[in-house]
Structure 1
Amino acid sequence: MKTYYRLLTLISVFITLPCKAEEWIRINQLGYLPQSIKVAVFMSEAETHVKEYALVDAFTGETVRTFTTPKATGKLGGMNSTYRLDFSNFQTPGTYYLKAGKAVSPRFPINAQVYNGTADFLLHYMRQQRCGYNPFLKDSCHVHDGYIVYHPTKTGQHIDVRGGWHDATDYLQYTTTSANAIYQMMFAYQENPEAFGDAYDANGLPGANGIPDIVDEIKWGLDWLNRMNPAPGELYNQIADDRDHAGMRLPNKDEVDYGYGPGKGRPVYFCNGKPQVRGKFINATTGVASTAGKFASCFALGAKILKDFYPEFAAEIGEKADAAYQEGIKQPGACQTASVKSPYIYEEDNWVDDMELGAMELYKATGNPEYLSQAIEYGRREPVTPWMGADSARHYQWYPFMNMGHYHLATVNNRHISKEFTRNMRTGIARTYEKAVESPFLHGIPYIWCSNNLTTAMLTQCRLYRETTGDETYAEMEASLRDWLFGCNPWGTSMIVELPLYGDYPSQPHSSLLNAGVGNTTGGLVDGPVYRSIFESLRGVNMTGIPGIPGQDYERFQPDLMVYHDAIHDYSTNEPTMDGTACLTYYLSAMQKEGMKQACIPADKNIYVNGGIIRTDPSKKQISLVFTAADKADGADAIIS
């Protein structure tokens, strides 16, 4: 008995002792292009003085370079010491890890192919989010949509608005986010067509159809957007509402009753330019222009993108672009989304950015200088997107998160206009940079809901500004924003599901598919960290994991003010979003294009997954030999030699 009590006392002592202080190195798990900026972040729970750090060849164990330039960056949450470890001037391809203090980083590659196939990888999630026919489930959903509400003469009538994408894990559909997703994918394809492959058909099923997969996705979205604008002046903003939030279920099993019968159709909200409500909550709609401008820019650019693939459809939507734009002129103001049971909506306040972009795309499509003049006028009314440099904002208050109209005006053939809007782009970046320098991760984004979407927007703006001007002032922040999404963040996790597959990524995203055990949200960009105050104020968020597995909360790494949780029921930080994912296609395709340039190789037709070729050019009859090495790299030495 005495032995038992001694053992119990000993166990109690060990439990009450503090955990041993540890150290970590955060890196971009996907890897680095040889000529890109490369900075890792060292973190220690104890006060640690790092004087040097080493880059080690992962296969040979040999130190290939020692650096003596660590940059101390102070405390972060429970980390009493942090350092930025710059190894940008090392460019030799290979697989490596970093050592600093007692910490060793995960392995990572340096080569020109690390981003190959990553933009296409995001499209897995877009196909998974399809409404109507869903290729992931090989079944259809929401085929009865929908019934008009808020139209002065057509309320109650049926309208065919099948298609598009579910917004996130819920099954609502919004013009606000869908139109932005369509535009961003079109811009990605327009700028970097060589980065996209063809492995799926128009229905999203495996099998090439001669059309790049991103164009298939663009067409899917534009078909839906076209249905949401069936006639001039008739614009619709939303399908369904938060009555959808009735528990996790698969979309083809959605039986929510909106008053038309279980699963028999959902409301379709007409843009009437006035506040809308069907329950106890009311939005703050002031006009139609924010939605009208999005229709206009998508139709104008869509007509150009789809001309070679679907000429008749391209002509049809091209003719609709100006009519949609004119509705924005007639009814200036923001068109917010509507809710019934909860206060959560997309609280879009701004609208001149949407009209600016619509005018610019119409100008580029027609050459009519009147559109250019109007774009300039709209652009001057909001020189900087207000969230940039701010500490907080309401949910989607200033959306889209990046003003693409400013970029187009910055590149017009007029020195004065170009200079003005280049300055506007730089000002937004500079304001963000002022916040970023306070962070070891050089990350100056406000941690509001969907902070990863803001990260992607600023990442895009930094790259477009750098390419337009040649100014490298903010190149390190751009690299830090990129690396944040792939694991160089306090939690050491990629924010994209299964990218890279060998890394740490969200294993329990807020997903009905995962909850039902039918798959994961492959390729989806999750919301990302939020202020602790936001997390603690939201309804229904919790740390419960999938059955039998508790959600990982990264408690040891949570900074003081913000949190991120890899838990299926934390919809505030771990829910993938369709628009955030689509918006990342531009940057990742640009990185693939940059890698091709660094390697001095033309575009190839190989199909890549996680940086590796899974199928060579399908147009050629050839057999490829592949030497694999399992998860422990068994046989790697023999292959290398």
Structure 2
Amino acid sequence: MRVSSLIISVSFISFLTACGGGSKGGTKPPVNQSSATISSLATSLGTSSLSSSSLLSSAASISSAASSISSVASSVASVSELVVVDQFGYLPDAQKIAVLRDPQTGYDSAESFTPSASISLVDMTTGETLFSAAPVAWKAGATDTSSGDKAWWFDFSSVTTPGTYAVVDKTQNLRSPTFKIAADVYKPVLKHALRTFFYQRAGFAKELPYAEAAWADGASHIGAGQDKNARIYNDKSNAATEKDLSGGWYDAGDYNKYTTWAADYVITLLHAYLENPAAWTDDFNIPESNNGIPDILDEVKWGVDWLKKMQDATGDNSVLTIVGLASGSPPSAATGRSYYGTASTNATMSTAGAFALASKVFADVPAWASYATDLNVRAENAWAWAVANPSVTFFNNDEARQPGSGGLGAGQQEPIDWSNGMASTKDRAIKKRMAAIYLFAATGGATYKSHIEADYTNADLEIYSDPFHEMENTSLLYYSSLPGVTPSVASDIKTWFKNDMNGGTENWNAMTSKKDPYLAYIKDYVWGSNGNKASKGSMFTDVIEYEISGLDTTIAKNSALTYINYLHGVNPQGMVYLSNMYSLGAHSSANEFYHTWFGDGTAKWDRVGTSIYGPAPGFLTGGPNPSYDWDGFCTGSPNDSRCGGAAPNPPKGQPAQKAYKDFNTSWPLNSWSVTENSNGYQSNYLRLLSKFVN
């Protein structure tokens, strides 16, 4: 990856010539196409030890190619936010549908567009028209309530020739952003997306050649009183409570580390690996690259190493819940103390599952054989503690439920049953079932099989109305594929999943009935909708992965890809919902998002085109959230001057798919409910995208 990383860094300037920013929210970054400037920026951002002559040669080659495409582009049409495509591109044999949009309601309703009778696919290198067809009106010209748009589809799936293209309305002189058709079109995107976990590592220096120079930083949270000497939350002056809880990943845009969620990320990433090992090579340019082990497994091991520290392996084998970390930008600037929360059943059972699946996968890595054996022992010990202690809870940042925990972390990691305000017994049961599945996979133990087969009918397999239980259902489908499972149980699970996918109007029928003009239907847009889009896509790939009979695999594949296309630009914003992806040719990428490192007002890492560098590339943002509002404080009297006259619109007051703004402000405007990243969204996206990388 070192050579390709350099090329990506050098190409950053070349691709800025096509950069426009998100609809109603974008700002065009500065452009300079000279080789000298490209060389200068590459020196700043570069990640390679190649010679300067090689650098200039690469820069000149890239600049020449960009100039060729730019010359054709200028003679073809102007890029329009009303013609949206996957801005990275499409696989040769994939369904390829561009969406042409006419806004009726929402922030862009003043725009007006009716496509011409013929739309063309143009080769942006030669200017040749390869294909033309009439656009097809979605639902005979109806307005979609979720987006506020009328739409037309231009299907160019028949074009399979690799190349660089745009969808063009020649009559109106409008076109889509440039994109590629190529067999490897998603591999560079996958690399950036996985590398976000490297940037999220706590207690680890981000140094060249692995970090781009723009986002290099020293190891964070390892100073006095921080992660290596973390103290318990309710006895902060007691040095006897100190533990080394360093490592792990920042969970999201905050730096806190949550055990249950980290265990979930480990499991999701391991499924991503198991479902398509060929995608996961050893060249993602992380410090462990070129060690003969797929880089995704190296990254997972980083997370598992931290989970091991959270377990009381020399005591009762329970697992702590959370480490609360101080803020700072960059992360190494954080100086505040670190504190931890006590163990819980949920955290311990979640970790048991993660240890078990990791032990099974890592056992196939010869260098990690003893490590895998240790994880197996830890998993069984964690299970035993959680079974013996089925109702131990810990609520962080919640003085009412857990006195003294105020300020410890941000998001609540203890699942709550909102019908009664108590800890959720249902969620603990889910975690126990999942842990049993992965322990059975790792050990073949009868105890685990007995629990699963006595309990699986209590699972939330009825998921046609939402994707929130996708992870649970994947674990059950995985169980159905294991040797030694009772055949009738395996059949029940697959039949149940098939019926839920095929029933109602939210899954299979939503795709075959063309329910969403942007082709990536979800019923509810809530906080983290982009993560839900990725999960929904994986529900369709599960049909293929687990050989669900009676459901067409071509429909499943095409449906899964539409969720990728949505996240890559086929949405009302015409935005790639990944941060700062101009180096890979994105025309409009998320320019900013809520993250403590890349915060509002930081001179180096705020908005692309305003700050020096913008945020690091590849982070999936939260996504449209129509429930967004500013803090309730802003409705008081007197208003704080930081609130402004009204809540930002967008995202407030918009159709669901337009409830998005490219912003990163903190309290009281609370952009985190719209743009904040999460390792959960990221791992869901990585799992889905990797299915289509070879």
Given the two structures, how large is their TM-score scaled by the length of structure 1? 0.73
Does residue 29 (structure 1) correspond to residue 87 (structure 2)? The answer is yes
Cα distance, 1:366 vs. partner? Answer: 1.7
Cα distance, 1:62 vs. partner? Answer: 2.7
Partners of 2:436 and 2:200 lie apart in 1 by 30
Partners of 1:537 and 1:524 lie apart in 2 by 25
Asked whether the equivalents of residues 579 and 618 of structure 2 are also in contact (C-alpha less than 8 Å), the reply is yes
Q: Deviations over 1:456-502 (max 9, x none)?
A: 11212210212322633444432221111111111011111234632
SS in 2 for 1:316: helix
Partners of 2:232 and 2:428 lie apart in 1 by 24
Partners of 1:461 and 1:325 lie apart in 2 by 28
Counterpart of 2:329?
A: 249
Partners of 1:404 and 1:510 lie apart in 2 by 30
Structure 1 counterpart of 2:625, from 530, 542, 550: 530
Range 497-506 or range 343-352, more displaced:
343-352
Aligned pair in 2 of structure 1 residues 87, 411: CA closer, same or farther (>3 Å)?
Answer: farther
Asked whether the equivalents of residues 123 and 164 of structure 2 are also in contact (C-alpha less than 8 Å), the reply is yes
Does residue 42 (structure 1) correspond to residue 100 (structure 2)? The answer is yes
Counterpart of 2:585?
A: 502
Cα distance, 1:38 vs. partner? Answer: 1.6
Asked whether the equivalents of residues 552 and 567 of structure 1 are also in contact (C-alpha less than 8 Å), the reply is no
Does residue 54 (structure 1) correspond to residue 123 (structure 2)? The answer is no
Does residue 91 (structure 1) correspond to residue 160 (structure 2)? The answer is yes
Q: Deviations over 1:330-373 (max 9, x none)?
A: 34469565212598524634233322221122112222343223
Cα distance, 1:79 vs. partner? Answer: 5.1
SS in 1 for 2:569: coil
Cα distance, 1:400 vs. partner? Answer: 7.1
Counterpart of 2:537?
A: 459
Please show how residues 32-181 of structure 1 align to structure 2 within 5 Å: 32-45=90-103, 46=112, 48=114, 51-68=117-134, 70-73=136-139, 74-76=142-144, 80-100=149-169, 102=172, 103-135=174-206, 136=211, 137-143=216-222, 144-145=226-227, 146-149=230-233, 157-181=241-265
Q: Deviations over 1:174-222 (max 9, x none)?
A: 0122111112222222333332233478xx4486333332222111111
Cα distance, 1:558 vs. partner? Answer: 5.2
SS in 2 for 1:512: coil
Counterpart of 1:604?
A: none
Asked whether the equivalents of residues 81 and 573 of structure 2 are also in contact (C-alpha less than 8 Å), the reply is no
Partners of 1:200 and 1:55 lie apart in 2 by 33
Counterpart of 1:613?
A: none
Does residue 329 (structure 1) correspond to residue 387 (structure 2)? The answer is yes
Cα distance, 1:556 vs. partner? Answer: 13
Aligned pair in 2 of structure 1 residues 335, 381: CA closer, same or farther (>3 Å)?
Answer: farther
Partners of 2:280 and 2:556 lie apart in 1 by 28
Structure 1 counterpart of 2:493, from 421, 425, 428: 421
SS in 1 for 2:628: helix
Supply the AA of the counterpart residue of 2:465.
G
Aligned pair in 2 of structure 1 residues 158, 403: CA closer, same or farther (>3 Å)?
Answer: farther
Counterpart of 1:485?
A: 567
Partners of 2:446 and 2:161 lie apart in 1 by 50
SS in 2 for 1:409: helix
Range 50-59 or range 442-451, more displaced:
50-59
Asked whether the equivalents of residues 100 and 151 of structure 2 are also in contact (C-alpha less than 8 Å), the reply is yes
Partners of 2:674 and 2:185 lie apart in 1 by 27
Asked whether the equivalents of residues 311 and 319 of structure 2 are also in contact (C-alpha less than 8 Å), the reply is yes
Asked whether the equivalents of residues 342 and 394 of structure 2 are also in contact (C-alpha less than 8 Å), the reply is no
Asked whether the equivalents of residues 318 and 385 of structure 2 are also in contact (C-alpha less than 8 Å), the reply is no
Greater helix percent: which structure?
A: 2
Given the two structures, how large is their TM-score scaled by the length of structure 2? 0.68
Cα distance, 1:51 vs. partner? Answer: 5.0
Partners of 1:379 and 1:537 lie apart in 2 by 41
Counterpart of 1:577?
A: 678
Aligned pair in 2 of structure 1 residues 211, 540: CA closer, same or farther (>3 Å)?
Answer: farther
Asked whether the equivalents of residues 452 and 580 of structure 1 are also in contact (C-alpha less than 8 Å), the reply is yes
Structure 2 counterpart of 1:304, from 330, 351, 360: 360
SS in 1 for 2:619: coil
Supply the AA of the counterpart residue of 1:293.
M
Range 461-470 or range 478-487, more displaced:
461-470
Please show how residues 141-540 of structure 1 align to structure 2 within 5 Å: 141-143=220-222, 144-145=226-227, 146-149=230-233, 157-199=241-283, 204-205=286-287, 208-231=290-313, 232-240=316-324, 244=326, 249-255=329-335, 263=336, 265-272=337-344, 288=345, 290-307=346-363, 308-332=366-390, 337-339=395-397, 340=406, 344-346=411-413, 348=415, 349=424, 350-384=427-461, 389-390=465-466, 403-412=473-482, 415-430=487-502, 432-433=506-507, 437-442=514-519, 443-467=521-545, 468-469=547-548, 471-472=551-552, 473-499=555-581, 501-503=584-586, 504-515=588-599, 516=602, 517=604, 520-531=615-626, 533-536=627-630
Partners of 1:353 and 1:582 lie apart in 2 by 20
Range 565-574 or range 422-431, more displaced:
422-431
Partners of 2:233 and 2:675 lie apart in 1 by 32
Partners of 2:239 and 2:453 lie apart in 1 by 37
Cα distance, 1:40 vs. partner? Answer: 1.9
Partners of 2:309 and 2:518 lie apart in 1 by 44
Cα distance, 1:588 vs. partner? Answer: 2.3
Cα distance, 1:239 vs. partner? Answer: 0.8
Range 353-362 or range 427-436, more displaced:
427-436
Asked whether the equivalents of residues 422 and 465 of structure 1 are also in contact (C-alpha less than 8 Å), the reply is no
Aligned pair in 2 of structure 1 residues 428, 53: CA closer, same or farther (>3 Å)?
Answer: farther
SS in 1 for 2:374: helix
Asked whether the equivalents of residues 356 and 438 of structure 2 are also in contact (C-alpha less than 8 Å), the reply is yes
Partners of 1:138 and 1:461 lie apart in 2 by 38
Cα distance, 1:409 vs. partner? Answer: 2.9
Question: Any unmatched runs of 5+ in structure 2?
Answer: 1-79, 104-111, 398-405, 416-423, 606-612, 636-646, 666-670
Aligned pair in 2 of structure 1 residues 39, 422: CA closer, same or farther (>3 Å)?
Answer: farther
Aligned pair in 2 of structure 1 residues 90, 351: CA closer, same or farther (>3 Å)?
Answer: farther
Supply the AA of the counterpart residue of 1:535.
D
Asked whether the equivalents of residues 87 and 576 of structure 2 are also in contact (C-alpha less than 8 Å), the reply is yes
Partners of 1:435 and 1:539 lie apart in 2 by 40
Counterpart of 1:395?
A: none
Counterpart of 1:283?
A: none
Asked whether the equivalents of residues 521 and 576 of structure 1 are also in contact (C-alpha less than 8 Å), the reply is no
Supply the AA of the counterpart residue of 2:659.
V
Supply the AA of the counterpart residue of 1:460.
S
Partners of 1:160 and 1:69 lie apart in 2 by 61
Cα distance, 1:173 vs. partner? Answer: 0.6
Supply the AA of the counterpart residue of 2:618.
G
RMSD: 3.4
Counterpart of 1:619?
A: none
Q: Deviations over 1:409-466 (max 9, x none)?
A: 3424554323322233335545532667542113215211111111111212210212
Cα distance, 1:24 vs. partner? Answer: 1.1
Query: Would you say how many aligned residue pairs link Structure 1 and Structure 2?
Result: 523
Partners of 1:165 and 1:539 lie apart in 2 by 32
SS in 2 for 1:364: helix
Does residue 589 (structure 1) correspond to residue 684 (structure 2)? The answer is no
Between the aligned residues of both structures, percent identity stands at 23
Asked whether the equivalents of residues 628 and 651 of structure 2 are also in contact (C-alpha less than 8 Å), the reply is no
Cα distance, 1:155 vs. partner? Answer: 10
Cα distance, 1:592 vs. partner? Answer: 0.8
Partners of 1:577 and 1:66 lie apart in 2 by 41
Question: Any unmatched runs of 5+ in structure 1?
Answer: 1-21, 256-262, 273-287, 392-397, 542-550, 594-641
